[in-house]
A and B are shown apart, each in its own frame.
Chain A
Amino acid sequence: MSYSETLEQAISTVKHQAVQMQRCLQQRKLMDALKYASIMLTELRKPDLSPKQYYELYILIFDSLSILSSYLVENHPKGHHLADLYELVQYAGNVIPRLYLMITVGTSYLKCPDSPREEILKDMIEMCRGVQNPIRGLFLRYYLSQRTKNLLPPDLFEFNANFVITNFIEMNKLWVRLQHTGPLRQREQRTRERKELQILVGSQLVRLSQIVDDNIQLYKDQILPTVLEQAVQCRDVVSQEYLLDAICQVFPDEFHLVTLDQLLNSTLHLNPEVSINKVILTLTDRLKGYMDRNEDDDSKKIDNNLFEVFWNYLKNLDEERPDLSLEQFVPLIESILGLSLRWYPNDLQKLNILYKFTTKKCKDYGKVIPSELEYLFLNLLTLKNENESGLLNANFYYEIVLQCDSFRDLLSIQSVALQRNIVSKLLDIFLQTSSETDTQANPSLVIDSKTKLDSLLSICETFIMDKSSVSAADKRKPQNDENNSNGIRTKNGSFDKPVLVNNNEENNENESSWKLDPDQEKLAKLCHLIIRSINKSLPEKKNIELQIELLFSIKAWFLKGGKNIKYTFPAIVTNFWKLIRMCHLLSIRSKSKKKLFYENLIKQLFKYASRCINDLFNICGSSFADSLYKLNIQSASLADQLSLGEIAYDFFSQAFTIFEEFLNDSRTQFQALVYMAQALQKTRSLHEDTYYNSLVVRCTLHSSKLLKKQDQCRAVYLCSHLWWATEIALIGEEEGITTDFYREGKRVLECLQRSLRIADSTMDNVQSSELMVEILNRCLYYFIHGNEHQTHVSVKYINGLIELIKTNLRSLKMEQTDIDIDPQRLSELHLDDPTLPLDTTFIIGMDGSYINVSQKSGPAPSITSKLNSTFLNEMIQIPIQHFNRTCEYIYDQREVDDRFKVIVI
């Protein structure tokens, strides 16, 4: 008998023979049926079949043999005696058909009550040795295993276990041998085939676990040692990796807990190429899962020094296997760390031990850790794989930072780029949680001492420092930190990663340019987070003292950043301001001694804020002058609100000094002065000692000295408000009721007159007219606000101004280039020239820039400080239309205010 040429033929032969066999069985021709079965089984001798193809045939045959088996059992012992048949099939010609038939008959016999079970089983397993071809042998033994599944004698645990173990050992041997068959160049294909067959071997372990059931002792004393011995002895990488993994998966957690030593110990004797960390990961995953599954059942949580066992193992492994690379070792540590987190979530000392161990491993490594291995430490230090479920909160990381010295040690020996990357991720966790909890009732971290703060900030040190300076020390490119494959990149917006400050750019940085720095931004936010994290239950005085202490500490740390403090110090200033307001609120509530305490403290706090601003000035210099100018003004406003006129005056003076010495650009100067005027107009405490007068005069004087005429004019007319206080409803003032507003109409008028003179002397007619219309609007402001004798802005003055404007506008119109073209022709002309929009409208903004108002919805307009005279006609329209709108307003006001009727338009 021989087998078919192709798989297709083999399948059809099997099907055909199966039909024949069944027909004979129906006709009770057993011998013929066995003959057909034997022909069918011959197909299983076919070489060159891949495991999958062989399996296909095997399944077909298995089903047919099941039919045969049923027939055999039904007709025993009337039709035949199975003992005889068992002898008979031994005469089949070929070993494969013979053994399959023998197992079929033997297992049928086992179903009969009077059969000599042990004998048959022993015989069958013995006979299986006859097939030594790996694939055929594996399937044959798998067949034996399947057929005997429910037929092993009950109560004979050991016998049964031995039976399965023997089969398992032989299968494993065959499986290992497969690797070494065929030509050497097919090694990889062999390995692939073996992986396809592994389930056959694994099924034996499943059978074992069914037999063992819950008999821990049997497992511990006999089964596990034998299986492990087999695994260790075979020295085969595929086998060892698979078997250990299967053991961990197949047997229950409780067994592993008792046999941890054995399991772990065996991994010390594996083939050096086996990746131990995979095995350990499977095991630790199981044990973590054990905790999850028994979450509610405290009694099951037997503490059997789990961590000690793993820790000792780790030390052993380190000694026995000095060849293990970091790449193999660190994931192993990580999986033990994960286990520890799950079993002993509150025991950070265990983490510390592991971090310490890792630190030692790193130091032993001796060389710079290659960047492709950095992810190992990133994972380890951010607990990335443990935090996927978001189980670990900010507070947990915070506790690690505080309590695990070795965490900090391990971090500090990493490359600067990696350190920054890790710290950045930690800060994200801290900051993100802060926005999620959102309320102060549930702060994510609690900082109640400077020591804790220092621990936290010490890990940030490289993060605080200037990138360029640390990268020089590190000699490696730190720029890539965000871009590597850590997968945390967010969606692409058009705001891509900002350009990082390079050394050569440092020199030409100027006031108008600002580079976004996401890292420094996190530090600034951290400052707020820290202050917010102060324990709220502290007594108020202690709380405030601690806030001040922490702010000083933060400041000292941030100072290490050099010029980076321009990103971080404003946050510190803000927190000093907050403290000032807090102390003020407390002092209002308090009496005598305590009140005095707070009042003194407030003065100190202003000094601290001032010191921060000065530090910024000293370190960042003129590039930050505009912001410093404004920080001073805002500090002044705060002082003024607390009736601290002298302090407010000092801050305002400081601002003026910055203005005079460092604000050079004319646009910057203009907006700075207007901002000063705005702030001064809201002050209330500067009137003693003529502070106010000297400041507003200085402001107006500077205004009148601005570089450009139009800036001068606008700044001066805005300064008129410095002599005309208006209500601040927040402090209870009200127009018409409050009587002590600081108002000097005479000075108001002087300012308006002066600005009008400047407008008049402006050479550009468009600008000149526009400025006059703006002044007219200012006059109307005062006109609504009060009587002529208060404001000194009289109807006569306004009418005069209107006359002047009209005259100017008339002469402006003369400039209009009236090329009278028929509108229709005009539109034809422009048809092909989109650069000349038909209907262009400009307006002049509050700083004199020309805004080209789009006629379409949506886009922002183009804005420019200069317009060329191609647009002269459109420019002429600006003051004309502005004047028309103003007249319309005056006209409308006549309905509600009779005084407007005397204004002639």
Chain B
Amino acid sequence: MLILTLSDAHIPDRAIDLPLKFKKLLGIPNKISQVVLLGNCTKSYEFLKFVNEISSNVTFVRGEFDNEQLPTTRKNINKQGIPMDTVIKQGDFKIGCCSGYTVVPKNDPLSLLALARQLDVDILLWGGTHNVEAYTLEGKFFVNPGSCTGAFNTDWPILGQEEPARTKASPSPKDGGDEQDKSNEQTGRNEPADNREEDGNNSSENVAQSDSFADKTSEDGSQKKNQDASGKIDLEKVNDEDEDEHEDENEELDIPDLELDGSNDPSFCLFDIQGSTCALYIYIYVDGEVKVDKVVYKKSN
């Protein structure tokens, strides 16, 4: 069973469309059995039409810019409310969905854990951060598909500029279990970038993978690759070096959109659930290419 999760499209308020390559990947009807929209996805006629062509089974939760009810269409005139949170069942898993805009503190793993406990779910999907993440905590699986358009993010920008001093070391991955670590598997802004370099030879495989969802078989629990924390600090420092030179009046603007948007690269997640095994595929659109990562989560008894 394939479940697609999209979040924070913000079309048309903040973005024109999904990356074309995403649309080509997803534009195959009858492959995906359910789509979950995790907020801020209900203001575009074209987007909803596109989603509906992927699957007619669409689950909504409300983001801060969604109205209390689904927008009306000709066929769907009776008003249908958009819930704050919901639970769907797939295979052996109960999956909780919320946009995350009423989780306080926002994006806080312990708060999300409390919510997962309240909803009695194995997997919790949330959105609203424009940053793709996946980790296990207390045996539960937490996934945020990020923004499928990489739309402008009004939270603290994901590429911090002012402070290069980030000392926190990325936690190293271990086999999925019940570690006390807040996060023992984490996919954030820096990690996919690092993986990209590491997995240079992986990309062809990824493309093949992305060509057809149907062929996907659950490989034996491949875990996330080791992260390389050393690379990222340099990236962030780059801009501090040559302050003086910028006094030049004729300097061209060279700030990438990504930085202005304060958002991670466009991304979405696809779940392949078979019984008690859940394979998560993370699709990220980086520099005009689609990269795929895979994480496997098994339900523990």
CB within 8 Å of B: which residues of A? 431, 434-436, 438-440, 490-491, 493-499, 511-518, 521-522, 524-525, 528-529, 532, 536-541, 543-544, 567, 570-571, 574, 577-578, 581-582, 585-586, 588-591, 594, 626-627, 630, 634-635, 637-638, 641, 665, 667-668, 671, 674-675, 677-678, 681-682, 718, 721, 726, 728-732, 734, 737, 774, 777-778, 780-781, 784-785, 843-847, 849, 851, 853-861, 863, 881-882, 885-886, 889, 892, 896-897
Contacts and interface: CB of A to CB of B under 8 A. Distances in A.
A731 B163 contact: yes
Contacts of A781: 110-111, 114
A496 B74 contact: yes
Contacts of B56: 494
A861 B88 contact: yes
B46 interface: yes
7 contacts: A431-B17, A538-B253, A539-B250, A591-B244, A594-B246, A728-B156, A849-B84
A536 B262 contact: no
A846 to B, nearest CB: 5
Most A-side CB within 10 Å, residue of B11, B83, B165, B243: B83
B52 interface: yes
A89 B273 CA distance: 92
A896 B253 CA distance: 52
Q: Is the interface of A mostly helix, strand, loop or mixed?
A: helix
Contacts of A718: 104
Contact of A678 (B74, B105, B110, B120): B105
A861 B87 contact: yes
A516 B45 contact: yes
B103 A514 contact: no
Chain B interface, DSSP helix/strand/loop, else mixed:
loop
B162 to A, nearest CB: 7
Contacts of A577: 152, 154
A712 to B, nearest CB: 15
Contacts of A854: 88-89
Contacts of A731: 156, 160, 162-163
Contact of A578 (B152, B180, B252): B152
B45 A518 contact: yes
A514 B138 contact: no
Contacts of B156: 641, 682, 728, 730-731
B53 A730 contact: no
B69 A851 contact: no
Given A495-B48, A512-B68, A844 B118 contact: yes
A845 B97 CA distance: 10
A570 B253 CA distance: 24
B261 interface: yes
Contact of A858 (B33, B108, B115): B33
Contacts of A591: 243-244, 246-247
A227 B201 CA distance: 70
A434 B21 CA distance: 13
Contact of B119 (A431, A845, A860): A845
Contact of B12 (A525, A581, A630): A525
Contacts of A677: 104
B178 interface: yes
B286 to A, nearest CB: 12
Given A435-B20, A529-B16, A581-B157, A543 B244 contact: no
Contact of A512 (B67, B85, B89, B117): B67
Q: Closest 3 CB pairs between A and B? A: A524-B12, A634-B154, A896-B180
A726 B259 CA distance: 24
A490 B49 contact: yes
Given A496-B75, A516-B73, A863-B83, A682 B45 contact: no
Nearest to A641: B156
B251 interface: yes
A626 B84 CA distance: 15
A512 B66 CA distance: 9
Nearest to B84: A847
Contacts of B15: 528
B225 interface: no
B65 A857 contact: no
Given A571-B13, A581-B262, A637-B154, A498 B73 contact: yes
Interface string B20-60: 11010000000001100000001111101100110011010
Q: Which of A582, A589, A847 has the most CB of B within 10 A?
A: A589
B294 to A, nearest CB: 22
B77 interface: yes
A537 B260 contact: no
A502 B24 CA distance: 36
A711 B42 CA distance: 25
A851 B16 contact: no
Given A512-B69, A671-B84, A726-B105, 18 more contacts: A435-B20, A495-B75, A499-B73, A540-B252, A541-B249, A585-B161, A585-B255, A585-B259, A586-B246, A589-B239, A589-B246, A594-B247, A682-B106, A731-B162, A859-B88, A861-B87, A863-B83, A882-B118
B230 interface: no
A525 B16 contact: yes
Given A493-B49, A678-B103, A856 B89 contact: yes
